[in-house]
Chains A and B, each alone.
Chain A
Amino acid sequence: MGKRIGMEVAVAVAEAVGLCNIDMAAVYPITPQSHIAEHLSDLVADGKIDAEFVTVESEHSAMSAVIGASGTGARSYTATSSQGLMLMHELLPIASAMRLPITMAIANRAVSGPLNILNDHSDIMPQRDSGWISIFVENAQESIDMSIIAFKIAEHKDVMLPVNINIDGFQLTHMVEPMEMPTQEEVNNFLPPFVPHATLHPAKPVTMGAFAMSDYFTEIMKAKDEALKNSKKVILEVWDEWAKMFGRAYKPVETYMADDAEILMLTMGSMGETAQMAIDELRTKGIKAGLVKLRLWRPFPFEEVKAVVKNAKKLIVTDRAVSFGGPGGPVFSEIKSAFYAEAKRPLIYNYIYGLGGRDVPVNDFTGMFEKVLADTGNKAADTYEFWGVRE
């Protein structure tokens, strides 16, 4: 059984990855991921883990390096945030098309401009269509658990897709909080060796990342879509295995007091725990509030989302990113899309909040519930609003 320790989350993530017998990491430092990069390079330099730490000159090179390494059959890892992820952007669909089981931690940080180093989800949202499996974590324990689980999901023979783990920058990465770090033996028992579907080896040469004409492109995209959709089955199986081994169960959608809720809120990332306190407060006032926490972002868990909303009349979707000039919050538009064809669906509201690291205390969450409850004419349903913006 792992020891209960207090550690800074970013450092703990590097420690957890260090338990996974990685062959290679190329991590270009960027605030607020930098402690992951620093600590992982320390572990390699001190000989604590046997891996190649490739120092690259940019995130674009970092992603290129892990793609190349993964192609040779090396278990490869990287991490980034914000502008770094944007630099990697052109390579992300290539990694998934080549079916390379790279895992990456994203310390979510606002995307420029203007320049901001603090927490929101505007870095991951533009990567929705990249074909990666995408998971959000809420606290230190989930951060380290998912960092290890990611390898098993990615490398599963029925998946073979890259995985990113989204960890709120500063909010989580720079927080010292309690967690149970699995032991090396436990991770060894959980994580089998990486068996690639093909490797770039001179003895058996293959071409990876070839050109494709319009006569094949559609079929190739369909195959990738099916792969991502089918990965959900494996994700659930792997989470089940983890639960059996470690006693910590994870689901694509988690709930708090949602069963009999009349009004629900949906959060992603670390905000969920603060929102829980608002739920508790509202319940003491007799308001049947509940919380839905989206853990699995891609593949999108349509069935699970629809199932938990049940009888709620109103659903407040919170977003920490904006799709400018479009449907408002990206999560909002996907949730609406999930419910479009349902005969029975809640009124869906959208608050965009916590941008650029703006703090969201408990009373902001209660305020959102109260505002939506007060909208008895349902005028604000289907629209998005920047919560707390100074007009």
Chain B
Amino acid sequence: MIEVRWHGRGGQGAVTSVELLAVAAIAAGKYAQGFPSFGPERRGAPVTAFTRIDDKKINVRSGIYEPDVVLVLDSSLIGLVNVIDGLKPGGKLVVNTPKTPDEIRKELNFSGTVATVDGTGIARKEMGVPIANTTMIGALLKVTGVMGLDAMKESVEHRFGRIAQKNLNAMKRAYDEIKISN
């Protein structure tokens, strides 16, 4: 089972991302859970959202305390929130930032695997809006290898209709351009 914790701000689409991922994983025949941190949610406030994906039935329903992967949608949260709290030894950190993995590693004093990609920049280019949530799904899929990009097609099209293709393009760019450093 893979457990991912997403860090974002309310309104950036972290919850949408975990839902899309879960729907896609289930459609691909896997078991999945996608859920937000539960609490008052308002635009701009730090939020967390969670993904669990497994090939067998997932029984645990509690929160994720020791994620395999942490994904930071908004890098301004670094320093504000302890984003690597509980990250398993050998776990991976994925950050939406134009900075390099080494720079992030120094910032966080973290010695594990770091992957960075300028998701917001890609989203701006491909979709015209700086909303990187679907873009970063591409990053996550590359880092974890849990599913192929094509698994996302149906759930993204169902959710986004006319603008689905732009989201998928941005997702593919993040998948291709992400820098992973061990």
User: What is the interface of chain A, defined by CB distance below 8 A to chain B?
Assistant: 4-8, 32, 117-119, 170-171, 174-178, 270-271, 273-274, 276-277, 357, 359-362
Contact = CB atoms under 8 A, between A and B. Distances in A.
Contact of B38 (A177, A273, A276, A357): A357
A205 B100 CA distance: 78
B27 A5 contact: yes
A177 B60 contact: no
B59 A6 contact: no
Contacts of B59: 273-274, 276-277
Contacts of A7: 23
Nearest to B22: A176
Given A176-B33, A178-B32, A171 B61 contact: yes
Interface residues of B, number: 26
Contact of A177 (B27, B29, B32, B39): B32
B53 to A, nearest CB: 11
Contacts of A274: 59-62
B21 to A, nearest CB: 9
B36 interface: yes
Nearest to A357: B38
Contact of A6 (B27, B36, B39, B62): B27
A22 B54 CA distance: 37
B33 to A, nearest CB: 5
B160 interface: no
Most chain A C-beta atoms within 10 Å of own C-beta, residue among B31, B34, B62, B63:
B62
B140 to A, nearest CB: 16
Contact of B26 (A178, A273, A361): A178
Contacts of B33: 175-177
Interface string B22-50: 11111101011111101110000000000
Interface string B99-133: 00000000000000000000000000000000000
B4 interface: no
Nearest to A118: B38
Contacts of B35: 170, 174-176
A176 B60 contact: no
6 contacts: A4-B26, A6-B22, A6-B23, A176-B22, A177-B26, A177-B58
Contact of A176 (B19, B62, B63): B19
A8 B34 CA distance: 9
Contacts, number: 74
B38 A176 contact: no
Contact of B23 (A5, A174, A359): A5
Contacts of A277: 59-60
Interface string B157-172: 0000000000000000
A259 B63 CA distance: 30
B18 interface: yes
Contacts of B58: 177
A271 B61 contact: yes
B38 A170 contact: yes
A174 B19 CA distance: 10
Interface string B73-90: 000000000000000000
B38 A8 contact: no
Nearest to A178: B26
A181 B155 CA distance: 17
A5 B26 contact: yes
Contact of A360 (B19, B22, B26, B62): B62
B148 to A, nearest CB: 17
Contact of A361 (B25, B27, B29, B63): B63
B32 A6 contact: yes
Nearest to B66: A361
Given A357-B38, A361-B63, 9 more contacts: A6-B32, A176-B26, A176-B32, A176-B34, A177-B26, A273-B61, A274-B60, A359-B63, A361-B65
B62 A177 contact: no
B55 to A, nearest CB: 12
Chain A to chain B: the 10 pairs with minimum beta-carbon distance, closest first: A6-B26, A6-B23, A176-B34, A176-B22, A361-B62, A273-B59, A170-B38, A178-B26, A175-B35, A359-B63
Nearest to A170: B38
Contacts of A117: 38-40
Contacts of B36: 174
